[in-house]
Each structure stands twice: as C-alpha cells, then as structure tokens.
Amino acid sequence: MSSTHQKIQSIRIVSTFFGLWISAYLLGGFENYVAFFLIFSLGILHGSNDITLIKRAYGSENLTFFKVLTSYIMLIGLGTALFFLVPMLALIIFIVFSAYHFGEQHFHFLQVKNTISAYLFYFGYGLFVITLILYLNASDALRIINQMIGVVVVLDVLRWTLLASAILTLVTGTMVYIKQKFNVFLELFYLLLFSVVFFIASLIWSFTLYFILWHSLPSLADQVEFLYKEVTKETIVRYIRASFIYWLLSVVGFFVLVQFFKDNPTVMLSFFFSFLAAITFPHVLVMHKILKH
C-alpha cells in the first residue's frame, strides 16, 4: 500500500469516529448542511475530472475532446431520460453500477482483477454496504425510493437484498481470498464500524460519511496518482484546476434545476439522488477502465 493510501486509511478511520461523535451533537438540520457541503465539494469533485481521465486512459490519439464530451453528455442524458421514462429500472441499474463501483474502489489494492469472481465480489460487497445504509435507515430510505420511482418498496426487499449480498460477498470473497490473501479481520472491523455508524447516524449523514471518507477520498488519490504519477500538494492543485470548470458546471446545474423542487423536501431529495445517479453512470465506466490496471 502506498504511503498516501496508508495516510488516507488512518484519516478515514479517525474521521469516521469523529463523524459519529458529530452526529450525536449536531442538530439534524445543521448536519444536513455539512453533509451536502461535503457531497458538493469532495463528492462531486471526485467525478469532475472524468473527461481528462478518459482521454488519458484510452490514449488521446483517436479521441478528440469534442468526441469525449459528446459521449459523456449523451450518457448523462440517457441516464436522466431513463429516470423519467422507467424510474424503477433506472434505479436498479444505478444501484448495480454504484455497488460495483464502491466495491471496486474499496478492493482496488487486490491484484486479482479481471475475473468473474472478483467482479461479483466487488458488486456483492458494494451492494451489501449500500443496502446496510438503507436498511439501518429504512423509514427515510424507503420514503425517498418511493418518491423516486412511484412504487412502494417494502422493508422485506431490503432485508432479502442484505442477506443475498452478504452470501454473494462471502462466497466470492472466499474465492478471491484463495487466489490472494487479504486482511479479513480488518475488513470485518470496517463492516462493524459501518454498521454502528449507519445505525446511529441519519440516512444522509451515513451516506455522506461512506461516500466521502471511504469512497471519494481514496478515489481522488488514485486519480491524482494515475494522472500525475504522485500525490503531492502541487499535483492536488493541478487536479483541482483541471476539474474546476466541470465541478462548477455540475454544481450550478444542480442548483438551477433544484429551484423547480424547492418547496418539497422529499421531492428535492429524490431529485438530488436522480441527479447524482445521472452523473454517476459515465464516472463508473471511466473508473473501471482505470482501476482495471
């Protein structure tokens, strides 16, 4: 593990405990502001440099900036249209993509990469974590999901998904472990920590702590390393400069669109997750290309 990732590992464990402590002391409303601030800063930032990453990952010979931008916008458009036309299918695809993406980032240190068992392991693990967040905050989660897809999803769906993803993770994790040993106790400790956090914290705060500390931070470090070979103050500043315009566009875009929904908090939250979903689709594909190597 590189020294950057070791540092991030310590930062995220300490910050998770701090986040847990905060959730006991901050008032709900203020906690939500901090959560959205973190999602709109670090969370969106970690997906803002995708266009540079695609060009680098595919080699820039045949790919013009215009071609990449057009396919990127088309994918986001497709994602948005899907949420309008067939919301339930869109949500399922989004969760499948997100689950794989979270698991792939979490286990990016494994050398066992392009095998079916590794793919299923990433997917199973990510799905387990996402469902754990939803299950331990079920009333809020189900309200938002119902609002997003217009169908009543019951607690049993979460319960069975949790069980199925746990079994999938266990079976495929064993297959991966046979090929490459990893620290199972540390992974179990993380899962225990997540369960305590998700149980105590609210839905938005639980999602934020996982998304920012356990996903976006290590992903940012990987991307900076991929683009500039090392993570230093200078390369971080270069990364921020290169992604700033995309970051600004998505944040401004979100705040313009959200004006239509500002009178109803639940509709606003479901719009927020649909927006996150639409910009997530191309990001997952780009990161898969990078983490594969």
- Interaction site with ligand RET (CB under 6 A): 47, 95, 98, 101, 130, 133, 141, 144-145, 203, 207, 273, 276, 280, 283
Distance CA 92, CA 228 (A): 35
Q: How far is the CB of 141 from ligand RET (least distance, A)?
A: 5
In the complex, residue closest to ligand RET by CB = 98
Q: How far is the CB of 181 from ligand RET (least distance, A)?
A: 28
Question: In terms of CB distance, is 172 or 219 closer to ligand RET?
Answer: 219
**Amino acid, single-letter form, for residue 245:** I
Distance CA 248, CA 48 (A): 9
**Secondary element (H or E) of residue 233:** helix 233-258
Question: In terms of CB distance, is 141 or 176 closer to ligand RET?
Answer: 141
Q: How far is the CB of 62 from ligand RET (least distance, A)?
A: 27
Question: In terms of CB distance, is 224 or 276 closer to ligand RET?
Answer: 276
**Which tokens in the block code for residue 24?**
């006991």
Give which of 201, 187, 185, 235 is closest to 15, Cα–Cα. 201
**Which tokens in the block code for residue 144?**
């938002």
Question: In terms of CB distance, is 118 or 130 closer to ligand RET?
Answer: 130
**Rounded to 5°, angle at Cα 122 from 269 and 102:** 30
Distance CA 191, CA 205 (A): 17
Q: How far is the CB of 271 from ligand RET (least distance, A)?
A: 11
